[in-house]
A and B are shown apart, each in its own frame.
Chain A
Amino acid sequence: DVKVTQSSRYLVKRTGEKVFLECVQDMDHENMFWYRQDPGLGLRLIYFSYDVKMKEKGDIPEGYSVSREKKERFSLILESASTNQTSMYLCASSPPGTGRDTIYFGEGSWLTVV
């Protein structure tokens, strides 16, 4: 069964802390994504990776970075967490190509920055 796993479901961090959100997929997918979801705003793309060590900025990359050292793992990094980064973060993966196949999501990571 297809699986995208986000290891941390609920986190509370302090302003200024460095935060790592980890995502692992077991489907050998080339594409991986990080979204954030806020009430009334839907999902917004933060970063996208189409191969190991490759990344592209999405719509809202400011304040975030990513790392993809292995095909199955895609990490989102908040260099210095701020309260406006309190949100639900969703990782996803999909096969290669240009969006012709279903995308699979993890269960989400709820981050609260205090």
Chain B
Amino acid sequence: KQEVTQIPAALSVPEGENLVLNCSFTDSAIYNLQWFRQDPGKGLTSLLLIQSSQREQTSGRLNASLDKSSGRSTLYIAASQPGDSATYLCAAANDYKLSFGAGTTVTVRA
């Protein structure tokens, strides 16, 4: 069974600092790894999807890397802003099924 872990559970940084969020998974036979953002009381919004054959994916200030062999993915957010405050979840896809981490809650202080 796929287990996905995100450490730390919470993170607080001053505005402008770069954010590094970690995700680890136990079963490396994944189709893809996805990162989501969740605002309080809301659903999840997809940020980045990295296919198993890719090493990284970029969108604006966001960059996600994938190392299947070590079972790790990292989400980098450059020059953080207060609007980046949210919970970030990663999910590993095995067949049709996504296994989620519990998330990292980020607070960016103005």
Contacts and interface: CB of A to CB of B under 8 A. Distances in A.
A39 to B, nearest CB: 8
Interface stretch (A43-51, A65-73, A78-86): A43-51
A106 interface: yes
Interface of B: 4, 9, 31-32, 34, 36, 41-46, 49, 51, 89, 91, 93-98, 100-103
A43 B2 CA distance: 13
Looking at chain B's contact residues, the main secondary structure is: strand
Interface of A: 4, 31, 35, 40-45, 48, 50, 58, 90, 92, 98-108, 110
24 contacts: A4-B43, A35-B100, A40-B9, A40-B102, A41-B102, A42-B89, A42-B101, A43-B100, A48-B97, A92-B44, A98-B31, A98-B93, A98-B95, A99-B95, A99-B96, A99-B97, A100-B51, A100-B93, A101-B49, A102-B34, A105-B36, A105-B45, A106-B43, A110-B41
A104 B102 contact: no
Most buried by B among A103, A104, A110: A103
Contacts of B9: 40
Given A105-B44, A105-B45, A107-B42, A99 B98 contact: yes
A46 to B, nearest CB: 12
B21 to A, nearest CB: 14
B98 A103 contact: yes
Rank and list the top 10 A-B pairs by shortest CB-CB distance, nearest first: A99-B93, A105-B43, A42-B102, A43-B100, A42-B100, A105-B44, A99-B31, A102-B46, A107-B43, A108-B43
A87 B98 CA distance: 19
Contacts of B4: 42
